[in-house]
């Protein structure tokens, strides 16, 4: 099991710790609901140092990135970030990821912790086609990178207190180098996985404790709190954000998952599964990932059956919980396309009882 540079801090704060994606991670501190609401209304800090960071460098970096990802990397400029996925050559998804353009010959790929080795092997298998030299042009820097996500409506106000450069007007999905508490070359970006605003910072693990304490000192007047992976999951689900391994995986197409906006079927971009996805789009989907709210009592859970009104199984719940901020039992799951329209009634098999639910538009949480 791996540890992040913040493990001792989490333990000293009384966090409930558990293994997640091969890492010893904080699941909660004071409680998922309290932490969830703290992020929605104030500011919370997540240790996400378990995430993977892989660099593509050199004159062929763009062509390689274009081939292995679904989004149009050529549309990026320095300081921009895009959400994307690795198509798996069989119509499914190897992983979803963020692509940062550092410069015209360098890109940072931020991947899921559970898939670091899988993604690395996948990239290495395709690197020779583009003369990408492993460990030179393709570098796995995950073990040398710490990451914190500072999320919530007060996050940027807190961070501006300790960041030398102006950051409060940064737009969504951008990044810049900053000096944080005197530490130079910290990468600060505004992507977010909570829907409540904020930023992520990437830095050398040797500065972990200094940066943690600086952030919490800066945020004490704003009610800053540490937040575990439990609330990270409920926050992202209220936003309808996919979680790899639940809502998307090697068997789900990005089009089925509602991620058509990250699949750029444009002439200048040749990428893995382009022909498959083009055909799937032209022929139409047979199933689709939908969001739903429970009408009857009960909490939908991962792998619960989704049924029609006669009890016939038509799908499965991929993610489900009680949304602490929307105050509703909510979930997502794949259903046949004829059941995917908003206001369609479906039923969730909860302990052998069919509980009524209704298909709704995502996200569940509308940030005003």
Residue 257 has pLDDT above 80, yes or no: yes
Confidence of residue 7 (pLDDT cuts 50, 70, 90): very high
Confidence of residue 137 (pLDDT cuts 50, 70, 90): very high
Instruction: State mean pLDDT over 258-284.
Output: 98
Confidence of residue 264 (pLDDT cuts 50, 70, 90): very high
DSSP SS3 for 302: coil
Q: What token pair was written down for 321?
A: 């919980």
**pLDDT per residue as tens digits for the range 176-185:** 999 999 999 9
Confidence of residue 278 (pLDDT cuts 50, 70, 90): very high
Q: How far apart are CA 347 and CA 358, in angstroms?
A: 8
Q: How far apart are CA 195 and CA 152, in angstroms?
A: 8
Q: What is the DSSP string of 57-106?
A: ESTTHHHHHHHH-SS-GGG--TTBEEEEEEE-SSSSEEEEEEEEEEETTE
Angle made by CA atoms 154, 158, 162, in degrees to the nearest 5: 165
Which CATH architecture best describes the domain 2-49+145-238? 2-Layer Sandwich (3.30)
**Is it true that domain 286-360 has CATH number 1.10.3720.10?**
no
C-alpha 304, offset from chain centre: 23
Residue 331 has pLDDT above 60, yes or no: yes
Q: Where in the chain is the domain with CATH 2.40.30.110?
A: 286-360
Q: Where in the chain is the domain with CATH 3.30.1360.120?
A: 2-49+145-238
Buried b (16+ CB within 10 A) or exposed e, 101-118: bbeeebbbbbbbbbbbeb
Instruction: State mean pLDDT over 257-273.
Output: 97
Residue 368 has pLDDT above 70, yes or no: no
Instruction: State mean pLDDT over 23-27.
Output: 98
Residue 98: per-residue pLDDT: 98
**pLDDT per residue as tens digits for the range 67-94:** 999 999 999 999 999 999 999 999 999 9
Q: How far apart are CA 358 and CA 368, in angstroms?
A: 24
Confidence of residue 366 (pLDDT cuts 50, 70, 90): confident
**pLDDT per residue as tens digits for the range 89-128:** 999 999 999 999 999 999 999 999 999 999 999 999 999 9
Q: How far apart are CA 110 and CA 90, in angstroms?
A: 23
CATH for the 52-143 domain, from 3.30.70.1400, 3.30.70.260, 3.40.1160.10, 3.10.129.10: 3.30.70.1400
Its pTM stands at: 0.97
């Amino acid at each position: 099991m791996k540890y992040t540079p913040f493990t001792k801090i989490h333990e000293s704060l009384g966090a409930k710790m558990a293994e997640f994606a091969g890492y010893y991670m904080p699941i909660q501190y004071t409680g998922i609901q309290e932490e969830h609401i703290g992020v929605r209304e104030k500011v919370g800090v997540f240790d996400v140092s378990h995430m993977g960071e892989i660099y593509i460098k050199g004159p062929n970096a763009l062509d390689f990135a274009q081939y292995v990802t679904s989004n149009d990397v050529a549309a990026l400029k320095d300081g921009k970030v895009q959400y994307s996925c690795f198509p798996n050559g069989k119509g499914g998804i190897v992983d979803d990821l963020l692509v940062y353009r550092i410069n015209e010959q360098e890109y940072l790929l931020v991947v899921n912790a559970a898939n670091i080795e899988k993604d690395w092997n996948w990239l290495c298998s395709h690197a020779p086609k583009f003369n990408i030299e492993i460990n030179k042009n393709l570098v796995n820097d995950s073990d040398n990178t710490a990451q914190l996500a500072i999320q919530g409506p007060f996050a940027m106000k807190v961070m501006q207190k300790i960041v030398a450069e102006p950051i409060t007007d940064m737009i969504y999905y951008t990044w810049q180098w900053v000096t944080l508490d005197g530490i130079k070359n910290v990468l600060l970006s505004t992507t977010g996985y909570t829907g409540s605003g904020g930023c992520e910072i990437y830095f050398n693990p040797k500065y972990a404790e200094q940066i943690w304490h600086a952030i919490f000192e800066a945020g004490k007047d704003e009610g800053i709190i540490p937040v575990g992976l439990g609330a990270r999951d409920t926050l992202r689900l209220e936003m309808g954000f996919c979680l790899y391994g639940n809502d998307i995986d090697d068997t789900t197409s990005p089009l089925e998952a509602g991620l058509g906006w990250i699949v750029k079927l444009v002439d200048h971009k040749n990428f893995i599964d382009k022909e498959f996805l083009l055909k799937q789009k032209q022929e139409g989907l047979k199933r689709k990932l939908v969001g739903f709210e429970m009408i009857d009592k009960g909490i939908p859970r991962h792998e619960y059956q989704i049924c029609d009104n006669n009890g016939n199984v038509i799908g499965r719940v991929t993610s489900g919980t009680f949304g602490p901020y929307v105050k509703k039992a909510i979930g997502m799951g794949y259903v046949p396309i004829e059941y995917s329209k908003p206001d369609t009634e479906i039923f969730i098999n909860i302990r052998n009882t069919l509980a009524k639910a209704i298909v709704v538009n995502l996200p569940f949480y509308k940030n005003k």
